Structure 1
Amino acid sequence: MTTTHFQEELLVEIKNQGADFIHFVDISHLSGEQNKGYPTAILFGIALSKTYLRKVAGTPDYVEQMKSSKTIENDEFYLTEMKTDGIANRIEEFLVENKFEAYSQSENNIIKTGYFNKEHRKTPLPHKTIAMHAGIGWIGKHNLLVTPKYGSAISMCSVLTNAPLKSKREEPMDSRCGDCTICRKVCKTGAIKGNLWEYGIAREKIIDVFSCTTCFQCVVQCPWTQKYFNNN
């Protein structure tokens, strides 16, 4: 099987599992700590439904309600995160079955393999970093990826591999947040600092991850996300 045919087969496999977008990204320029020695990342994601986003946007304490009622496992975002993680694990299996090396960056796998720093709540290669090198968005003032098409209303995962895939690398987009501070205003804990992201900036200047309660309001109130779910 040629490289082109294999990549097409892989693309169909990921699409059939429900991904809304897929990118093959060149990460060979990153440090060994980040890319684990793999030259390519397969990045994919699923967009959250507009109905769900409207519901969360209209219910500021939505996440708190889900937690207090112990129904968070029925939440669409939670279920979508589980789905993208599952897809990543299956892609890893698919690549290994085809005699290539691969590493799924699903939550369970990065924790199991010690790739996630629990003390600092970070991993050397976040999906959003790969997404920036794919050229699909920028980092917002809430420290999340923002895309022109979906805003921040996506769940992403990635797989690192040495499979001979045709990949590309884009320069990270400049922030398009401008003077907007909506995410900072809706953040009840003050975790969001309101600073524009720029390449190399310390995460602590953007957000205090230890104060974040994952209320999701910074996502649904973002004008880019609202443009997505209000666009019929």
Structure 2
Amino acid sequence: METSIFKEELLAEIQSQGAGFVRFVDISHLNPQQNKEFPTAILIGIALTKAYLRKVAAAPDYVEQMKSKGTIGQDEFHLTELKTDRIADRIQQFLELKGYKAYSQSEDNIQKTGYYDHENRTTPLPHKTIAGLAGLGWIGKHNLLVTKEYGSAVSMCSVLTNAPLPSTWQEPLLSRCGDCNICTRICGVNALKGKNWECGIAREKIVDVFLCTTCFQCVVQCPWTKKYYKSE
């Protein structure tokens, strides 16, 4: 099948499942541990709704409320994470039916295949790394992707594949957080170190993932996220 036709067919399939944005990223230059010897990553993303972000921003203890009420299963971010993972798994199946090799980086799959390091809470190729290579944004002081359009209010998943897709990559953007330390100041457990991300910096110099309680306030209080959910 002609590459351009296959790409359009694949895009239509991904979008029919509810993806908000899709990028085809060249990862052939990464080491085999990261790319599993696949040349291309398909990045799938969905932005969280503005109404949801406003609700979380208005309730600093939103996550704690969910835990106490047992309603995490109804949370929009949780459901969106499940959705992007489900899309990735389906795209792996779609590509395999077309005769190509593919690997979904959904949470279930990376755990099932031993690709997730439980002790250190890491994976060799995070979705945000792929997003950086796609030019979607930069890594903020909360160690999350920040985009101009949505701030950090995105859920992402990815599929690695050898399918013949036109893909590109660029050097990751430098941090545009500057002197802003809002996320650092509001972190109630002091998990954030206030450091600007740069290539090669150790994760531990930015965030202590073992202290983080996933309160989500660093996401909703980020000025870039606020710009998104406060816009008309």
Which TM-score tier does this pair reach, normalised by the shorter chain? over 0.9
Displacement of 1:132 after TM fit?
Answer: 0.3
Displacement of 1:114 after TM fit?
Answer: 0.2
Describe how 1:7-46 pairs up with structure 2 within 5 A.
7-46=7-46
Paired residue secondary structure (1:142): coil
User: Counterpart amino acid of 1:69?
Assistant: K
Number of the residue aligned with 2:211: 211
The total of aligned residue pairs comes to: 232
Displacement of 1:70 after TM fit?
Answer: 0.7
- Per-residue CA shift, 1:162-211, capped at 9, x if unaligned? 00100001111111101000000110000000000000100000000000
Paired residue secondary structure (1:204): helix
Displacement of 1:102 after TM fit?
Answer: 0.1
- Which runs of 5 or more residues in structure 2 are unaligned? none
Number of the residue aligned with 1:2: 2
Number of the residue aligned with 2:125: 125
Number of the residue aligned with 1:154: 154
Distance in structure 1 (CA, Å) of the matches to 2:19 and 2:224: 21
Describe how 1:1-232 pairs up with structure 2 within 5 A.
1-232=1-232
Distance in structure 2 (CA, Å) of the matches to 1:230 and 1:16: 28
- Per-residue CA shift, 1:140-180, capped at 9, x if unaligned? 00000000000000000000000010000111111110100
User: Counterpart amino acid of 1:89?
Assistant: D
TM-score (norm 1): 0.99
Distance in structure 2 (CA, Å) of the matches to 1:15 and 1:206: 34
Distance in structure 1 (CA, Å) of the matches to 2:19 and 2:176: 25
- Which runs of 5 or more residues in structure 1 are unaligned? none
Displacement of 1:44 after TM fit?
Answer: 1.2
Distance in structure 1 (CA, Å) of the matches to 2:67 and 2:40: 37
Distance in structure 2 (CA, Å) of the matches to 1:67 and 1:32: 39
Paired residue secondary structure (1:37): coil
- Per-residue CA shift, 1:8-56, capped at 9, x if unaligned? 1001111111111100000000000000000000001000000000000
Q: Deviating runs (4+, > 6 A) in structure 1?
A: none
Distance in structure 1 (CA, Å) of the matches to 2:204 and 2:150: 26
Distance in structure 2 (CA, Å) of the matches to 1:22 and 1:8: 12
User: Counterpart amino acid of 2:74?
Assistant: N
Paired residue secondary structure (2:86): helix
TM-score (norm 2): 0.99
Paired residue secondary structure (1:146): strand
Paired residue secondary structure (2:44): strand
Percent of aligned positions with the same letter in both sequences? 69
User: Counterpart amino acid of 2:113?
Assistant: T
- Per-residue CA shift, 1:94-147, capped at 9, x if unaligned? 000000000000000000000000000000000000000000100000000000
- Per-residue CA shift, 1:203-226, capped at 9, x if unaligned? 000000000000000000000000
Distance in structure 2 (CA, Å) of the matches to 1:72 and 1:183: 23
